[in-house]
Amino acid sequence: MANLKAIRQRIRSVQNTQKITRAMRLVAAAKVRRAQMRTLAARPFTGRIVRLLQQVCEEVASIDLQGLPLLERREVKKVALIVLTSDRGLCGSYNTNVLKASARRIQALRDEGKEVGLITVGLKAASFFKRIKVDKFKTFTLLPAVPSIQEAKLIAEHASELYEKKEVDAVEIIGSDFVNMIRQDVVHTKYLPVDLPEGVDHYPLSSETIFEPTLMELMEEELLPKYVENVLYQALLEASASELAARMNAMSNASNNAKELIQALTLEYNKARQASITQELLEIVGGAEALNK
């Protein structure tokens, strides 16, 4: 009977866990749709800002862009990595993939003789890099569940300040791109200085393009601020959608595994109960035969 009691307790425990995983899956499923819509809606604007800034940088004489620190290219001796993870776990391999990619990138930069510093976003990144000897510039944790342009601006300003003060010579972002509900790809993005990603199509600026009031003011007040804010904002949106999709899939798999485990435990319980009943019947029959003798 003690064995039956233990099996019953385990079945109840798994059932309670299944209720939690089902609830978490439903919550993630409800949130991921909105996150997907936000991510897809922001992509065209961010892409256009990036392309426009890149077109200006490519087609305007370099002398006209002097005095803009975010566009200054210099020998890369130290790199800042912005690592985007979540504050919570239970989202499958989402955080693990990002952190592994970050560790590989750190090692690759060190092999090239370059120094590395980190700007970590999320408790998982902060916890992981506590155990690794590497410079930490800033840690952002417990951010709102829905990314906002204010958060992106805060992180972007810190990264821009590091670059402008020449504390680092390049800034890169390591996060996840939301592809669909099942697939989320880890991506490595060059952030500062402004660089043209491979495979980006753009149209040349017209020779009659006029910049008002001046090109420098346009770059300083409009294009560069929008670039640093929106590229990072898009990365946060992609990371948020990827996290929710990964959590939904992880909780769905956990619920299915719990169901299979409950079925296996129920079968084991029924077999043990049947064996117990059979044993009791045998004892009763044996006792009756002993009395008859």
Residue-range domains of the chain with CATH: 22-250 (3.40.1380.10)
Of 254, 241, 178, the residue nearest 29 (C-alpha): 241
Residue 61, pLDDT > 70, answer: no
Of 28, 114, 121, the residue nearest 82 (C-alpha): 121
Q: Exposure of 131 by Cβ count < 10 A (0-12 exposed, 13-18 middle, 19+ buried)? A: exposed
Per-residue pLDDT of 222-234, as tens digits, reads 788 888 899 999 9
Per-residue pLDDT of 244-260, as tens digits, reads 999 999 999 999 999 99
Q: What is the pLDDT of residue 290?
A: 74
Q: What is the pLDDT of residue 199?
A: 45
DSSP labels, 124-187? HHHHHGGGS--EEEEEE-S--SS--HHHHHHHHHHHHHHHHTTS-SEEEEEEEEE-SSS-EEEE
pTM of the model: 0.84
Mean of pLDDT over the chain: 85
Q: What is the pLDDT of residue 71?
A: 80
Question: Per the residue annotation, which of 91, 228, 237, 251 is the catalytic one?
Answer: 91
Q: What is the pLDDT of residue 41?
A: 92
Of 23, 31, 22, the residue nearest 243 (C-alpha): 31
Distance CA 218, CA 228 (A): 14
- Is 91 in the active site? yes
Identify the band that residue 212 occupies on the pLDDT scale cut at 50, 70 and 90. low
For residue 194, the tally of other CB atoms under 10 A from its CB is 22
Q: What is the pLDDT of residue 204?
A: 55
Per-residue pLDDT of 17-29, as tens digits, reads 999 999 999 999 9
The residue among 242 and 280 whose pLDDT is bigger is: 242
Strand partners, 189: 173
Of 216, 131, 222, 112, the residue nearest 169 (C-alpha): 112
Q: What is the pLDDT of residue 208?
A: 55
Residue 201, pLDDT > 70, answer: no
* Cβ(188)–Cβ(208) below 8 Å: no
For residue 229, how far is the Cα from the chain centroid?
Answer: 18
The backbone torsions φ and ψ at residue 197, rounded to the nearest 5 degrees and listed phi first, read -65, 150
Identify the band that residue 78 occupies on the pLDDT scale cut at 50, 70 and 90. very high
Q: Exposure of 2 by Cβ count < 10 A (0-12 exposed, 13-18 middle, 19+ buried)? A: exposed
Q: What is the mean pLDDT of residues 193-212?
A: 58
Per-residue pLDDT of 104-148, as tens digits, reads 999 999 999 999 999 999 999 999 998 888 888 999 988 888 898
Q: What is the DSSP letter of 77?
A: S
Residue 36, pLDDT > 50, answer: yes
